[in-house]
Structure 1
């Protein structure tokens, strides 16, 4: 019972801590006069992925690479099938062709790099540096091209993503304190979640990878779910799609990259047998649905949700 309580407290801590971190960081950036486009592309992306980062780091240091790697792979699968599925089921999502061509291409490259690392069986520091360097290059290229374009549809989408973060109306000092407090809560939440998940996996006879791919991955993806639902309710469905694609890129290049730099990871064989192929398949399906008519329809959202239910059934059975 204590282990399930730890998991519950960990998930609550990740949601609250991640929300405080994003709100504090975005508010501070606004006070410094940083443009909404830059905030949406960088801070919102990093902030909503902070639960995944802290959890994967905690799992790596706890000697649970299955949770660390499963968290990244499971979060990306959940982002596509669950979060995009829910968003599209609520309302059809319009797709920005220019943004999809650029960010979708980066997502494909990141997914292929992730698959190669997983099939190799080991994600070392050199591979981690390569992944993280790719993220830095992607962000730099996007910021430069959008700044030169000046008011493109893609930059407006990033700015709209920043607008999904509520403005608490606090001073710079309080905003920084909020961000720091959110980070502390996220760290403790991740610690509770990892400790509880490892113990539950042992008691139930499940592998750490399965726990990482399910409970941990869904829990750490809650900030993306909240952001996407808010965007859809505001009639900005393209922000929900951009949030999913951006989060998937951050998870692979940033979360997996940083975790491997800090603590090299051995990849469980079961992830290489099944889940990496599911990851590749869901990425291809995301781009196929987005490209067909440049929109993700409600029926396609329902298909994504049905596929996620089938995936969880296969994992847990």
Structure 2
């Protein structure tokens, strides 16, 4: 068991480091190519921050472990909506811009309902997965046009991250392009290796302790792959940048459902495990509705509402680990 846990932890670390290197290298190359910060944020950084979840789910799907793949997607969104936003709101009550909330939060809720419906009616197909990816592309185009005038939605955190990367790039203008390309390549290699080790350790651990792969995906894998979003949102809340924290969560939820869910479906179509279809997805729908209600009332998420979100996450975590 210790070897499985060790491989799991190494996979987490390598995956997160690889995602960071991928974002840094890609942003620097894109900036050299003259791409705008907003476009980089919506595409490269948005993709890069979802890389841990993407690689973990794809590797799990390829390894014949759909429970880990879909558990990771649904569990990551539960962690985003309940754990991360709850913790961020407890640190500092979160002001909420209603326009991006309904646009981005509404899309995430709608696609969660669609995924639940699909899970209850025969499972997910390649065509549905391709449709998810097409919806994501349409969303990115719409969001890019909308946020040219008011960049406060789901891409806000990505543009904030890009701004930090731009400052770093300006300090290294003399750095050769090939070095940035090596950073990018190194990041890709690390996330692939980390994803494989993570899934391998998770499958071994689930087998040893008698826990289903779906529950492992909903809990351990989901929390681990959500660490980058957790750190970003908590730091943003601490610094008073509530729009950045909210944008981080909403953007991540959309990428998880449409990009990672779409790619997973294309690679490994089939039924979604019962634990996900009958427990994880209904809970995520309820959590998404609760989040929208909290955010819309008073245009903020207060500390006590943040505590409710945290309590809900801890409750489902205990239920998953004990009862499912």
Q: TM-score, normalised by structure 2?
A: 0.92
Query: Cα distance, 1:208 vs. partner?
Result: 0.4
Q: Deviations over 1:223-263 (max 9, x none)?
A: 11122123223321111111101110110111010111122
Question: Which has the larger displacement, 137-146 or 245-254?
Answer: 137-146
The answer for unaligned runs of 5 or more in structure 1 is none
Match of 2:9 in 1: 8
SS across alignment from 2:318: helix
Bigger shift: residues 257-266 or 247-256: 257-266
Aligned to 1:176: 181
Alignment of 1:41-80 (within 5 A): 41-80=42-81
Distance in 2 (CA, whole Å) between partners of 1:282 and 1:163 is: 31
Residues 145, 257 of structure 1: alpha-carbon distance in 2 compared, 3 angstrom cutoff: same
Pick from 263, 269, 283 the counterpart of residue 264 of structure 1: 269
Q: What is the Cα deviation at residue 164 of structure 1?
A: 5.3
Give the equivalent residue in structure 2 for 1:163: 163
Q: Does 1:249 align with 2:257?
A: no
**Alpha-carbon distance in 2 for matches of 1:253, 1:194:** 21
Unaligned runs of 5+ in 2: none
1:291 matches 2:290: no
Matched, 1:110 2:111: yes
Aligned to 1:275: 280
Equivalent residues of 1:23, 1:167 under 8 A apart: no
Deviations 1:193-225 (A, max 9, x none): 101111111110100000011111111111111
Change in CA separation of 1:292 and 1:157 when aligned onto 2, cut-off 3 Å? same
* Alignment: residue pair count: 315
Shift of 1:270: 1.8
1:38 aligns with 2:39: yes
2:118 and 2:182 map into 1 onto residues whose CA distance is 38
Provide the C-alpha distance between the structure 1 equivalents of 2:60 and 2:156, rounded to a whole number of angstroms.
Answer: 34
- Structure 1 residue ranges, 4+ long, deviating more than 4 angstroms after superposition: 151-156
Q: Deviations over 1:56-95 (max 9, x none)?
A: 1100111100001111010100111111112111111111
